[in-house]
Structure 1
Amino acid sequence: MAKCDHSEAVQPVPESGVNVSASCEDCGNMDENWVCLHCYKTLCGRFAKEHMLQHSSAAGHQVVLSAADLSTWCYGCDSYVDNDKTQAAKDSAHASKFGN
């Protein structure tokens, strides 16, 4: 996992938590969704209609969390990241996915 300065922009998890069952806010896709760790929008990934990639480019929000495998990716570093800044979102996503 690479060191990622973009993780500094990760925002606290909203009170409602991370919902890994949410559909893409732009197209309703349910297959390959990611959660933006800056604004907590859920959008589809590169192998669907690329709405999260488009959001990242337009908004400058680089760090996202996979609803499928709960990994975190940075578009700016083009690599997976795992650090203290992403842990609360991962914990919330894990609770959403597995109920604990």
Structure 2
Amino acid sequence: MPDTAAAKANLEAQLAELQGRLDRIETDLAEPLNPDLPEQATEMQDDDSLGGQAELAARQIASIERALERIDEGTYGVCVQCGADIAEGRLEARPEAALCIDCARGQ
């Protein structure tokens, strides 16, 4: 059985870091574009990259929030697909993991 207290602390720390990163990205994206057209093109490319980073951070946040819900429900460490226990090593590497390694590989 996984150490849910340690996992919860780890997940909450990751969540806070990701939320801070997402907040900074959103602040950067909210800045008006430079009136200089060549500079605008560069800023738009940067904004596209930041948008992708924001999407990734939002997906990671959602995954962590679901893991925290599983901890609260008492189902953390159990594969949501097949019901088998998720290996301790997998949870150490990916504390937000919802699938056992076999289900994650599509087996």
TM-score range, shorter chain: under 0.3
TM-score by length of 2: 0.25
Q: TM-score, normalised by structure 1?
A: 0.26
Structure with a larger share of its residues in strand: 1
Please tell me whether Structure 1 or Structure 2 has the larger radius of gyration of its CA atoms. 2
